[in-house]
Structure 1
Amino acid sequence: MSSNRAKHRIVTSFQRGINPILKRMPGQTLLETTGRRSGLPRRTPLGGRVVGRDFWLVSEHGEKSQYVRNIQADPRVRVRIRGRWRAGIAHLMPEDDAKARLRTLPAANSAGVRLLGTDLLTIRVELTD
């Protein structure tokens, strides 16, 4: 098994345990996608930053992330930023330099993404409200 594959498995197992706790924290930024199979709302705690009319984030596992797969099926999302839900359209940005992008995002989250990530992918959410 490749080291990236093993790392991905370990990190996602850890996240399955911690994410339900993070989702309940009032100040936590959340990304809500629509489940590609279930059609139900799926909420993922993450970090990012609003720049103008866009919310930028970097996925740790790129197209292997479940929320990225959901975006590929339906790019309409919502983002909870500082307790307020905002609608948007998510755009995968493989051409963007994800490591450089992380330097412009909140430091603590970016450090975790760099440390735990296996296939970084920038995502831009065009906020529509």
Structure 2
Amino acid sequence: MADVRNRVTTVFQKRVANPLMRLMPFQTLLETTGRKTGRPRRTPLGGKRVGNEFWFVSEFGEKSQYVRNIKADPAVRVRLNGRWHNGTAHLMPGDDPQARLRSLPQFNSFGVRTFGTNLLSIRVDLTD
């Protein structure tokens, strides 16, 4: 069942939600470098800035394409409130993703909890 939910959610996000969300000027975006193409890949997501860190939770963990890109090259950019910030992403498997979701904005956290099958916390150390 989780595999079907994962596939349905992925198709919906890839074909409908993400293209629309990327157009919104104040949507938070994570920009990674494609591990195969070397091209920028932008993913809408929710999370929270805490000082010079940005925290979010991947709903599919290491199966997410952007997580695979982070593993290949942790240098990322995050667009927060319309402004881009450079940073270095760190996968945080020791962090409790359920607890982390409770500290993040609830609208996105609800979707991640509902559709997520392999939650993984991620921290981005912002450099500017």
Q: Separation in 2 of the partners of 1:128 and 1:31?
A: 15
Letter in 1 for 2:10: T
2:73 maps to what in 1? 74
Count of equivalent residues: 127
What secondary structure sits across from 1:103 in the alignment?
helix
Letter in 2 for 1:11: T
1:10 maps to what in 2? 8
1:31 maps to what in 2? 30
1:63 maps to what in 2? 62
Alignment of 1:39-118 (within 5 A): 39-118=38-117
Q: What is the CA deviation profile of residues 43-95 of structure 1, one whole-angstrom value per residue up to 9, with x for unaligned ones?
A: 00000000011000000000000000000000000000000000000000001
Q: Separation in 2 of the partners of 1:4 and 1:69?
A: 20
2:21 maps to what in 1? 22
TM-score (norm 1): 0.97
4+ runs of 1 displaced by more than 6 Å?
Answer: none
Report the alpha carbon displacement of residue 28 of structure 1 after superposing the two structures with TM: 0.3
Letter in 2 for 1:22: M
Q: Percent identity?
A: 65
Report the alpha carbon displacement of residue 4 of structure 1 after superposing the two structures with TM: 1.4
